[in-house]
Amino acid sequence: MSGNVSLYNESKATGGGSAILPTPAIGGVGLIDDYAKMMTMPFKAEGDTIYLVAAEEWATPDPHRSHIGKSLWLAEIHGRDEGRAPPVDLTLEKNAGETIRELIEAGLVNAVHDLSDGGLAVALAEMAMAGGFGADVAANPDYTAAQWWFGEDQGRYVITVPDPEAFNAQMAKGTRDEDMARVGFRRIGTVGGDSLLGVPVADLRAAHQSFFKEWMES
């Protein structure tokens, strides 16, 4: 395990210099009892069903709740650093994580990825690039396109499921903790094809891999 805390890092480069924002970073290590059950993020097979697992209350639109405030989308696409960051509920975070762990233990999922910087669209793109498969994914009419694809609300996961019937049966049973009932799920698409949101996976990979080289050359 390692950690790093950068509280004062400033360059004296020509042009006035620049500072790195304070960035405490913590790394954690865990043990997997059964290596065969280790879960990874790449899409695994054509036809797998894609679900979004999240707190049930997240599935209900709330105009007072932040979705894109302080988001990567707002900063990179619009050059704006504003808004309220998404709220954090540690109980819901724990419950969502426990639900995912139990699904993995039961062998009902074959890919898992958390949603963080960039939101749903970025998580799906990373899964597609890593697995070499595209996906047919639906928007949610209850949200704006920006909120649905790029919102960074907490405690959410994208999973792929080879057997939706078994998955739905497991989710209907609930879990050992009564609070787990606050964790819900939504079917959002199917793995397959060679594109994601109208963009070929090959183009996504090329853009992703070229970033560092172009940044260094500039």
CA distance 129 to 111: 13
Give pLDDT tens digits for 111-143: 999 999 999 999 999 999 999 999 999 999 888
pLDDT for the residue 86: 87
Give pLDDT tens digits for 29-85: 888 888 888 999 999 999 999 999 987 655 555 655 668 999 999 999 999 999 888
Q: Which domains does the chain have, with CATH numbers?
A: 31-217 (3.90.650.10)
Return the percentage of the chain with pLDDT > 70, whole number.
81
Helix (H) or strand (E) holding 99: helix 90-105
**What mean pLDDT is predicted for residues 147-152?**
93
Six-digit token string for 210: 């070229």
Helix (H) or strand (E) holding 25: strand 23-26
Reported as half-sphere exposure (CB side, CA atoms, 13 A), residue 49 has a value of 15
- Say whether pLDDT at 27 is over 90: no
- Say whether pLDDT at 12 is over 50: yes
